[in-house]
Amino acid sequence: MINYPRSDKTGAARLIPSWKLVLGSLLTLAVIGAGAFAAAVFLLPVPKPNDVAIAETTKVMYDDGKKEIGRIGDVRRTSVTLDEVPEHVQYAVLAAEDRDFYDHGGFSVGAIFRAVWNNLTGGSTQGGSTITQQYVKNAYLSQDQTWSRKVNELVLSVKLETIESKDEILENYLNTIYFGRGAYGIEAAAEVFFGKSASKLTMEEGAALAAMIQAPANYEPTLYKDALVDRWYYVMDGMVEKGWLSQQERQQADFPKFKKPPNANQLSGQNGYIIEAVKREMLEEGWTEAELSGGGLTIVTTINRKSQKAAVAAVEASGPEFETKRLRIGLAAVRPGSGEILAIYGGEDYLENQLDNALQARAQGGSTFKAFTLAAAIEEGFGLDSIWNGSSPATVDGYTLQNFGNASYGSVSLLSATTNSINTAYVDAESTVGVKESIDAAERLGLPQDTPGIEPNLTFVLGSSSPRAIDMASSFSTFAARGRAADPTILREVIVDSGDVNYQIDPNRGKRVFDQDTMDTVNYALQSVVNSGTGTRASWTGRPAAGKTGTADESKSAWFVGYTPQISAAVMMTKSNKKGEPVSLNGTGGVGNVTGGSFPAAIWASFINGALEGEEMESFVPPGGTIPTEGPSESPSQSPSAEPEPSPSEPVIPSQSPSGQPTLPPTEEPVPTPNNGGVPEQEGVPPQGRNSVAPAPSG
């Protein structure tokens, strides 16, 4: 009989349970819990693996949902017996995933605590699931991260250990686990990655495959070789620790050579870049690799077929034809207001180079960043007629810099400084408006905060930071959308195998980050760059267009970022030496001085012509008030003057005795020099072929 409240005590002490009662209660709960767990293990049936839904490939479609781009995960699976898998491969898998597999009963409390400890202390990242638990989850259960699924996984794991031997569980695991590239099971993985049967795998190859199990996408050898090598060493160290491999064998091991990814036809050209971009974003959204590779999904992308064809055709028609070794060209285009990625040009062929020049590669942005300071200045109340120091060389807040060719312009309006991309005037403006204000404007417009090189100093306006093409296309799309920004996305719709729509993009997802009047004034100023400034080749479209050129120091990168009301696109060019280090673009395609106003602007124009062929011509909303054609006053003005159309003043003849070289480290934007400087101005003639861009001083 339970003595509670306690009869041998008085007062409040009667309510304090005795240690016998506490111990007895805990033992009773433990017995009941153990009994319930045992009953669950006994009563819960184990489904046959054959009852699991057959994995299906995932289709990746163009934005119309009708034309297929390619597929993710052509499911490959060939079952083999454990005897057909070399022992050193079995040991490698155990070293990678469950070193105590033969010593536990389905789950390992020690493994769970070790995983928690390593993850908290910064050791090697580990999971707490045993091989049995992983097999149960993959073969019988869903991937849901819920408590009910976790309990079922634990119960089934223990149950399975009572009806199947350890060798049977390991064999089933090796035949079902996902290795990447659509390969389920060790036999398929051996074929896909090494072109041989699992029975022929070497120790080094087996360890490499075992290393990939934890996160196949993050250890794809063509993309993340360094990470895979580190994990490979971890696996072999585990084999040494368990006595399955000698230290000498470990030290003599050489990292194996992998086959190129399969599905060459569907991944060739731009398709591989698009499919990989889809995979990255889907994983970021919480989908698992197994769901992507075998879930039977239909992913409708934002990629527009006509725009995509136009991107490829533009690079082929207007890009350089010779002196192109190790040249990289990236193009990204987005829809203003929604952030939908309409087209990308990631490189000539994904199979030859997997680094995406549109969505992954980076380069200094040069004077394209002047557009961010322009937006900040307009928002702060400075008009396009405000006057700034365009003399060269100039010293601003301790920084000494000069314009391209040391061209000196004297006092110039903000409009003229934008049209002609005048370095000194823009650094003067940034110093007054504020560097933090310029950076804030850039980030609101869409430049990621983690863009390398963003520092709160005057070099920001000259583009010392290194964005991606998609970052710049997205940021400038906010101008086109009159102040509405949306993060770029390649996902329009995701349809699960049942036919239900799991996700659908909101075409009006853009959020207001700038007022329309500010954006209309910015658009007006950036139209002058295309109409009569450093980006006149972009006017070849014959459509209202705005944009900004950018050229890094020594022409190590060249940009044109431009937009119409319907589309925003960025074109980036870089070149490297054998070591992968950036080198000057000068001389590429026979052009002595490659700038953003040369090939990049020509490619952009060619792309816009193709992407908007047959589309209605749209104009920008003119700004309120009146706009100057020249800088009319001697000091910065808060109000615009009375001239309606952009016609910037001609630059003065550069000084014949420049003093010194600039000490400011970042990029400098080439600007037009007068004809009497000995370099002919370029006429706005449409390109006739790939090498149609003649040398020009404007950038």
Is there a contact between 342 and 304 (Cβ–Cβ < 8 Å)? yes
CA 285 to chain centre: 13
In terms of Cα–Cα distance, which of 652, 660, 670 is closest to 601?
A: 670
Is there a contact between 648 and 536 (Cβ–Cβ < 8 Å)? no
Residue 394 to residue 424: CA distance in whole angstroms: 6
Place of tokens 């005037």: 425
Residue 115 to residue 68: CA distance in whole angstroms: 42
Task: Tell me whether residue 214 is exposed, middle or buried, using C-beta atoms within 10 angstroms of its C-beta: 0 to 12, 13 to 18, 19 or more.
Answer: middle
CA 616 to chain centre: 32
Residue 517 to residue 527: CA distance in whole angstroms: 15
Could you give the maximum distance between any two Cα atoms of the chain, in Å? Answer: 113
DSSP 536-559: GGGGGG-S--EEEEEE-GGGSEEE
Phi and psi for 436 in degrees, rounded to 5? Answer: -60, -35
Strand 394-396 vs strand 484-485: parallel, antiparallel, or unpaired?
unpaired
Torsion sign across C-alpha atoms 425, 443, 472, 350 = positive
Q: Going along 140-276, which residue ranges are E strands?
A: 178-180, 183-184
CA separation (Å) from 239 to 159, 303, 628? 29, 46, 75
Helix (H, G, I), strand (E, B) or coil at 694: coil
| Active site annotation includes 367 | yes
Helix (H, G, I), strand (E, B) or coil at 297: coil
The 8-class DSSP code of residue 223 comes to: T
Strand partners, 76: 183
The four Cα atoms 137, 141, 147, 152 give a dihedral, to 10 degrees, of: -90
Strand 68-72 vs strand 399-401: parallel, antiparallel, or unpaired?
unpaired
The answer to whether the bond into 262 is cis (omega within 30° of 0) is no
Task: Provide the token pair at 86.
Answer: 């070399």
Question: 483: which residues sit within 8 A by CB, 6+ positions away?
Answer: 512, 513, 514, 515, 516, 518, 519
Strand partners, 575: 327
| Active site annotation includes 220 | no
The 8-class DSSP code of residue 452 comes to: T
Which of 293, 318, 367, 421 is flagged as catalytic? 367
Question: Which sequence positions are flagged as catalytic?
Answer: 97, 367
